[in-house]
A and B are shown apart, each in its own frame.
Chain A
Amino acid sequence: MPGVGIGQQRPSQADREALAVLLSVDGVGPLTLGRLVDRLGSPAAILEAAAGTGGAIAILDGSRATDGEWRTMPRAVAAAIVVAAGNRTRLLDDVRSSGLRIVARGDAEYPSRLLQIDIPPPALFVRGSLESLTRQHVVAIVGTRRPSTAGRRTSSRIATALARADATVVSGLAVGIDGAAHAACVTEKVPTVAFIGGGHARLFPKAHDRLADAIVEGGGAVVSEYAPSVEPTKGTFPQRNRLISGSADAVVVVEAGARSGALVTASWALEQGRECFLLPGSIDWPTSAGCNGFLRDWHGLARIVSGIPQLLDDLGLAASAGLPDAAERGVPIRSTVALPSAKAVLAGRDAAQVAVAEALVHGAVTADEIVAVTRLSIGAVLGALTRLEAAGLARPVHGRYEPLGPLAAADPAAA
C-alpha cells in the first residue's frame, strides 16, 4: 500500500510544514509523496534532502517505486521540489496568511473516516474546525450544479432534516444542490463541512465566498487537499469527490444529469463501502437522468430515497413525525425530527407576506402565479416579495421566485 509511511506516528510541526511545501508542487500527489516518505523517512527529511547538494538527484532516487520496477517521478517535478524547498518561507506564509491550518495524517484532528479510504490525502488545508466530522453520523449531499427549483428545495429540506437529527452534512460548495445543502445548515446554525476542488486562494465558485465564510463562522470547515494556490481543474474535482464520500457514512444524490460529477461521488461511495442513496425522478426530466440511470446500473447496491422520513429511517436516524400517512402505509415512525412549518417561520409577518410565502411553499413560482393564487395586486405581491427577500426567505432566480432559508426547508404538507 503506497503512502502507508505517512501518519504512522504523530507528525511533527516540521513535517506538517514540509507537507504543505511539497503539496504546493505541481505533480506531487499522495502517491508520489508516499513513495518519497517510504524511502526518505519523513516529509521534513524530503525537504532536507532537496535543500542539500544534489537535491534533485536525491529526490529522484527517493521516488523510485519500491515494487522493484525502475520508475521515478519526472525530472521536472524533482527540480520543482528543489525550487519549492528554497521558497519554503514564502509558501508557508501564504498558508498562514490565508488563515489555514495544516492537518496531517496522524493528527488527532484528521477525520478518521478518511483514513479508511484507498488513498487518503497526506494533509488537509483547513479553514474552520473539523470537529463536526467526528459525530456519529456524517452524510454527504451532492447533486447537479443546475438543479430544478424543486431539487434545490429538496436539498434544503434533506439538509435541514439531517441537521435536526444531529447528523453532519458534508458537500462540495458547488452552486446548485451543494450550495442549498450547506446554506440550509448555516440557516439551522449547525456546522457543515465543504470539500473544495482546488486551493483555498482559488475558491471556486467565487460566488460562494460568502457562503464559505458563513460555514466557517458557523463552526464548520472548508477543506482542501490542495495547496492554496492550486487552480481547480477538470481533474481535481473527481479526486476531491472521493473525500466527500470518504468523510461520510452515506452519500445522498439529490439531482444529477446523465453526466453529472455527483455520480462520480456516488461511485466512490460504493467503492469505499459507504451507503449510497439517490432520489429517483421522472424519466422525462434531464436533471434526474443520472440518478435514474445509476439506480438501474447499481440495482441492489444503490438505494432509493422515497421520502425524507424514510431516508432518516434508512440512515438509522430518528424518523420524522412529519410523515403524513405513514401509519396507514405501515411505515414505522420512530420519532421526532420535524421540519419547520411555514406558519412558524412566518410568525409576525403581515398578511400579504404570509399569503405570498405560502403560495411559494405550495409551488407558485412566477409573479403571475402568485397573483392568481393570492388575489393580491401585482404591486402588493412585489412589495411582499421584497420583504421576504430582505428576511432571507425568498429570492428571485431568472424571473421566478423560490423560497429560501427556513422557508425552503418548510414542509409543504405541514404548511
Chain B
Amino acid sequence: MLATLLSATLVALEGRVIRVEVDVAPGLPGFTIVGLGDASIREARERVRGALRNSGFVHPPRRITVNLAPADVPKSGSAADLAIAVGILIGSDQFTARPGRAALIGEVSLGGEVRHVPGLLPMVAALARRGVRRVIVPAEGLHEAQLVDGLEVVPAARLTDAVDVLRSRRRAAPVVPDRVDLAPATSLAGGRPGPVLAPPLPPPDLAEVRGQAEARRALEVALAGGHGLLMIGPPGTGKTMLARTIPTLLPPLSDEDALAATIIASVSGDAPIRDLVRTPPFRTPHHTSSYAAIVGGGPRLLPGEVTRADNGVLFLDELTEFSRDVLEALRQPLEDGRVSIVRASGAVTLPARFQLVAATNPCPCGHAGEEGRCTCAVGAPERYVGRISGPLRDRIDVWVTLVRVPGAAMVQAIEPESSATVGARIAAARARQLGRPGRRLNARVSGRVLRAISLLRPDAARHLAELADAERLSGRGTERLLRVARTVADLAGSDAVEDEHLDEAARWRPSASRPLLALPV
C-alpha cells in the first residue's frame, strides 16, 4: 500500500518541501530509497529499521520502496527519517491515519527517539509557505519551529508520540502558533547535544584591557562604522583580548537581521534555538581552517564561517598564517556581502555581510619594534605584512599597531572605559548612520552617498585632498579615508566631517605601505 507524507530538506540556507512516498509491496524483502539522496539519507534505512523494532512496531518483511520527490532536488540529512518511518507504518497497515496536510521533520534513533535536526527553522518556514497546517517536529526543536507563524507545531519526543498525534488518539495539548517573539536579546547559551565540553569563556569587558588607547580607539571606530580592522602587534600585547571584547560592544540586531541570523544559527546547528538570535555573531575560525570551512560548501552545502558571521564579526587571528586560498576567497564576500558556491549541480549564494577583524604579528619572530628583541632581517616586517594581498588590504579600512604595555601601566589606578560606555557610543553612532539616506553603516554606503552625507565644507575638502596627496592615496584610498572620517564624526556626534575627523582617520591607514624613511616634504 502506498503512503504519501510531507517532509522537508535543506538546500544551503533554504528549506525545500519534499514528498515522501512509501510503497510497501509484496515481494522479496528489501528497502530502497530513491530520489537523489546522499549517504545520510541511505543510512536512514538502518535508523528507521531499528526505530520501528524498538518502538514496538514491526519492520515489515516486504519490498519497501521510498521515493523522495521532487526527484531533481538533491536531498541530504536525516530530517526525512520520521516521515519515512511513519510512511512504512501506514503503508504496512500498522496504523491508519490521514496525515492530510501535516508534515513530519526529525531524525529517528535506533531506540525510537526523535532527534533534533539542523535547519529546522527554514524547513518549517518552507512548509508554512506551502500551506501546511500542522508540522510534527522533534521536541527539542519546539521553540525554534514556533518562531514560524501560521502553522501548528506539534512536538514529538519519540516515534510513538508522532504516531499518536497522527492517529489523533491523543489530542496534543493545543499548541497555539506563537507570533514571532521579539523579546530582548538573549544569549545563545545552552548545552549542545552530545557531550558538553568546557563552556565558552564569557567575553572580557573592555575595562580589563589596560593601556592601548590607540588600539581601543581603533576598535571603537571600526565597530561603529562596520569597517574592517587589522591589529598588528607582538604576541601578548592584547590583540586577541581586544577582539574578544567585541561581543560586549556591538548593539543587538534589528528584527530583520535577527531573523537572518536565527536561520543561519538554525542551519549551523550549534545549539538549540529558543528565541530569535539577537546577539551579533562573533566567529573566530582557527588559521588552519580549510577553504570549505571558511567559505562554505561540502557535499551538503553547509554555510561556512563567512556566512555564520553574517551581520556580525569574523575574527581572523594570525591573519598571515591563513592559507592564501582562504584569504583570497574573502574578497568576494567583502565586496558584495555574499558568497557564491558553485557546484556542477548549480550555484547557491549565501549571505556573508560580515565585518572583518584580523590580527597578526608584525614579523615572523613577532617582536618587530621591540628594541633588541626582533631577530628578523631588516625589511622582514614589511614583507611579512605584505603577505596580505593588495585587494584584501584595500578592504581593511582601519589599521592599528599595538605596542607592549609596560608593567607599570598595567597596574595603574586609572580605570579604562568599560564596554558599556564605549558600546553606548558605538550604538549611538550606528543609529546615526542607519537613520541617514542609504540606511547603511559607513563601511557599506556607496561612494556617491558617502560624499553626500559627509557634508564636507570647502576647506575640509581641501584638507582631504592634502592628506591624500601627502599619503599618495589612490582614489579608493581617499574614499576609504573619508569613510573612516565619517565614522569618527558620527562618534563625535557631528553632522559634517571636519578637519579634525579627517586627521584622526588618517592615522588608521595601512602602515605597511609607508616608506621606511619618511623624508621631510
A positions within 8 Å CB-CB of B: 145-146, 148-149, 175-176, 179, 183, 186-187, 205, 207-208, 210-211, 214, 285-287, 365-368, 371, 378-380, 382-387, 389-393, 395-400, 404-406
CA distance A380 to B492 in the complex (A): 12
CB of B28 closer than 8 Å to a CB of A: no
Task: Write the nearest CB–CB distance from A230 to chain B, whole angstroms.
Answer: 20
Q: Check if B511 sits within 8 Å of A396, measured CB to CB.
A: yes
Q: Check if B500 sits within 8 Å of A383, measured CB to CB.
A: yes
CB of B346 closer than 8 Å to a CB of A: no
Closest to A366 in B: B403
Q: Residue B372 contacts which of A285, A365, A383 (CB distance < 8 angstroms)? A: A285
Q: Check if B378 sits within 8 Å of A175, measured CB to CB.
A: yes
Cβ contacts under 8 Å, B344 to chain A:
none
Q: Check if B369 sits within 8 Å of A210, measured CB to CB.
A: no
Cβ contacts under 8 Å, B500 to chain A:
379-380, 383
**Known: A211-B517, A392-B518. Is A379-B372 also a contact (CB below 8 A)?**
no
CB of B201 closer than 8 Å to a CB of A: no
Q: Check if B520 sits within 8 Å of A146, measured CB to CB.
A: no
- Considering residues A186, A210, A387, A390, which has the most beta carbons from chain B within 10 angstroms of its beta carbon? A390
Cβ contacts under 8 Å, A390 to chain B:
466-467, 470, 521
**Known: A146-B378, A205-B378, A387-B503. Is A397-B519 also a contact (CB below 8 A)?**
no
CA distance A368 to B403 in the complex (A): 10
Q: Check if B212 sits within 8 Å of A398, measured CB to CB.
A: no
CB of B381 closer than 8 Å to a CB of A: yes
**Known: A390-B467, A398-B381, A398-B403. Is A183-B371 also a contact (CB below 8 A)?**
no
CB of B44 closer than 8 Å to a CB of A: no
Q: Check if B401 sits within 8 Å of A210, measured CB to CB.
A: no
**Known: A367-B214, A368-B409, A378-B214. Is A385-B507 also a contact (CB below 8 A)?**
yes
Q: Considering only CB atoms and an 8 Å cut-off, how many residues of chain B contact the other chain?
A: 44
CA distance A399 to B369 in the complex (A): 8
CA distance A406 to B521 in the complex (A): 12
Interface residues of B in 356-408 (CB under 8 A from A): 362, 368-372, 374, 378-379, 381-382, 400-403, 405
Q: Check if B372 sits within 8 Å of A210, measured CB to CB.
A: no
Cβ contacts under 8 Å, A211 to chain B:
517, 519
**Known: A286-B372, A379-B217. Is A399-B232 also a contact (CB below 8 A)?**
yes
Q: Residue B369 contacts which of A187, A392, A393, A398 (CB distance < 8 angstroms)? A: A398
Q: Check if A183 sits within 8 Å of B488, measured CB to CB.
A: no
Q: Residue B506 contacts which of A179, A386, A391 (CB distance < 8 angstroms)? A: A386
CA distance A387 to B372 in the complex (A): 30
**Known: A145-B378, A379-B217. Is A386-B504 also a contact (CB below 8 A)?**
yes
Cβ contacts under 8 Å, B434 to chain A:
none
Cβ contacts under 8 Å, A205 to chain B:
378-379, 516
Cβ contacts under 8 Å, A183 to chain B:
517, 519-520
CA distance A145 to B34 in the complex (A): 71
Cβ contacts under 8 Å, A389 to chain B:
518
CA distance A176 to B517 in the complex (A): 9
Cβ contacts under 8 Å, A380 to chain B:
500
Proximity string of chain B (23-51) to chain A, C-beta cutoff 8 Å, 1 when within and 0 when not = 00000000000000000000000000000
**Known: A146-B374, A287-B371. Is A371-B213 also a contact (CB below 8 A)?**
yes
CA distance A179 to B503 in the complex (A): 28
Q: Residue A187 contacts which of B212, B368, B520 (CB distance < 8 angstroms)? A: B520
Cβ contacts under 8 Å, A405 to chain B:
520
Closest to A151 in B: B371
Q: Residue B401 contacts which of A146, A384, A385, A399 (CB distance < 8 angstroms)? A: A399
CA distance A395 to B400 in the complex (A): 14
**Known: A368-B409, A378-B217, A399-B402. Is A214-B371 also a contact (CB below 8 A)?**
no
CA distance A145 to B492 in the complex (A): 42
Q: Check if B518 sits within 8 Å of A395, measured CB to CB.
A: yes
Apart from A205-B516, A207-B379, A382-B504, 11 more pairs, CB < 8 Å: A145-B378, A179-B516, A183-B519, A186-B520, A187-B520, A210-B519, A211-B519, A378-B217, A392-B519, A395-B518, A397-B369
CB of B515 closer than 8 Å to a CB of A: yes
Cβ contacts under 8 Å, A149 to chain B:
371
CB of B233 closer than 8 Å to a CB of A: yes
- Considering residues B362, B368, B381, B500, which has the most beta carbons from chain A within 10 angstroms of its beta carbon? B500
CA distance A31 to B183 in the complex (A): 88
Task: Write the nearest CB–CB distance from A144 to chain B, whole angstroms.
Answer: 10
